[in-house]
Amino acid sequence: MSGHSPLYFKNRLYYVLLAAGGLVALAGMFAVYLMEHHGHVITGMNNQVVWGLPHVFAIFLIVAASGVLNVASIGSVFGKSIYKARAPMASLLSIAMLAGGLAVLMLDLGRPDRLIVAATNINFTSVFAWNVVLYTGMFSLIVIYLWTMMERRMNGWNKTAGLAVFAWRFILTTGTGLIFAFLPARQAYGSAILPPMFIVLSFAWGLAVFHLVQAVTYAWNERQHDPAIMERTKHLLGIFVIGSLYLVTVYHLTNLYFAQQVGFVRFILIEGGIYPALFWLGYIVLGNLLPLGLIYWPERKTNCVAASVLVIAGAFALLYVFIIGGQAYPLDIFPGFTASSSFGDGQIASYSPSIYELLLGLGGLAIAFLLTTVGVRIFNFMPQD
C-alpha cells in the first residue's frame, strides 16, 4: 500500500465520493418510486400541509443557486478581479444546485410522468409556469456565460453575458418569492416583501455555499487560500446575513402590526411548538447570531467556513418555519368566528416528515454534489489568483 502515491489515494477518494453521492441520489430515486407507487400517503404531507420537506430542500437549492451567482456578478458586472476569478466555479455551483432543486420539485409532483404536459401547456397567469421559463432560461444563460469565460474567442461577450445573468437571476428569485407573495388567501404569505426578502436571503445562502465548496476544493488541491481575499468575502457574507435578517424582521413586524395577523405571528414566533423553536434557535441563534459572531468578533481568527455552515443550517430552519409553519396555521375563512370541521378548519395542522421525503430532499442535494464534484474535476474551475 505504501507504494502508492498520494495522488493515487486522491483518485480513489474521488471515486468513493462519487459512489457515496450516487448512492444518496439512488436512495432518493427509490423514495420517488415508492411515492409514485403508493401515492403521497406514505409521506407526511396531507390535504392541510400540501407542501412539505421536499419543498424546503428544493427552495433552498433554487434560492442558493441564484445567490451563488452573486460572486460571478460582482466579478463580471462590477469588475472586481478576485470575484471574477471565482465566476466559473460560482456558475458551476449554480447549475448544479438548480438541477438538484428542480429535480426535487419535479419528482415530488403527484404526476411527475406528465412533465411533457407541464412543458406544453403553459398558463401565463401562473407564477409556477413563469418559473418553468425562468429556470430553463437561467440554465441556458449560465451555459452561455461559462462559454464566454472559457472560450478565449468569446471573452469579448463576457460582460454582456454577465449582465444578462445578473438581471435574470434577480427576476428568477423574484419569481420564487412571488410563488408565496401571490397567495393572498393565506396569512403567512401574500406579502410584497417576500420577493426582496428571498433575493437578499439568496445572497447570504449562495455565498455560504460558495465558501464551503471553495474551502473544500482548496483543501483538495492543497492550495492555501489568500487570507486577504477570505477576509473580504467573509465580510460580504456578514453584510448579506444582516440584510436578510433585517428583511425577515420587517416581514414579521408588519404581520405583528395588523390586528388580523397577530394570531399567526403568535403561533409562528411563540406558541407553535416546533416552529418558534426552529425560528429562534435554528434561524436566529444558529443561522444569524453565531455566524455574525464568528465573522465580526474582534481579534478572532477567520472562521468563514464554520460561519457558512451555520448560515446554511439557519436557511433550512427558516424555510421549514416559513413553508410548513405557514401552512400549519389554519386559514381564517370566517373572521371573527371560531371554526371546527372534519377537514381541519380552525385546527393547527399536523405534519411529520417521512423518511421518503427526507431521502428525496437529500437526493436533490446529492445531484448538486455530484455535478459539482465532476465539474470541478473535469474543468478548470479553480480560482486563479
Binding-site ranges for another protein (CB under 8 A): 36, 38-41, 46-48, 50-51, 109-112, 114-115, 117-118, 121-123, 125-129, 132, 179, 182-186, 189, 327, 331, 333-334, 336-345, 349-350
Of 129 and 242, nearer to another protein (C-beta) is: 129
Spatial distance between the Cα atoms of 99 and 88, rounded to a whole number of angstroms: 17
Minimum CB separation of residue 49 from another protein in Å reads: 8
Cell output for 43: 409521506
Cell output for 197: 426578502
Q: What is the DSSP letter of 152?
A: G
Helix 69-76 to helix 87-107 angle (10° resolution) is 150
Minimum CB separation of residue 139 from another protein in Å reads: 18
Task: Let me know: does 28 contact 364? Beta carbons within 8 Å.
Answer: yes
Spatial distance between the Cα atoms of 357 and 369, rounded to a whole number of angstroms: 18
Minimum CB separation of residue 263 from another protein in Å reads: 11
Minimum CB separation of residue 322 from another protein in Å reads: 13
Minimum CB separation of residue 40 from another protein in Å reads: 5
Cell output for 262: 397577530
Of 111 and 152, nearer to another protein (C-beta) is: 111
Minimum CB separation of residue 295 from another protein in Å reads: 36
Of 117 and 259, nearer to another protein (C-beta) is: 117
Which secondary-structure segment (H or E) carries 368? helix 355-378
Minimum CB separation of residue 102 from another protein in Å reads: 13
Of 79 and 110, nearer to another protein (C-beta) is: 110
Of 31 and 74, nearer to another protein (C-beta) is: 31
Of 115 and 219, nearer to another protein (C-beta) is: 115
Q: What is the DSSP letter of 198?
A: H
Query: Counting Cβ atoms within 10 Å, is residue 183 exposed (0-12), middle (13-18) or buried (19+)?
Result: middle
Of 46 and 254, nearer to another protein (C-beta) is: 46
Cell output for 136: 430553463
Alpha-carbon separation of residue 259 from 17, 190, 283, 333 (angstroms): 53, 16, 25, 16
Helices (H), 39-157: 53-67, 69-76, 81-84, 87-107, 115-120, 127-150
Cell output for 371: 455535478
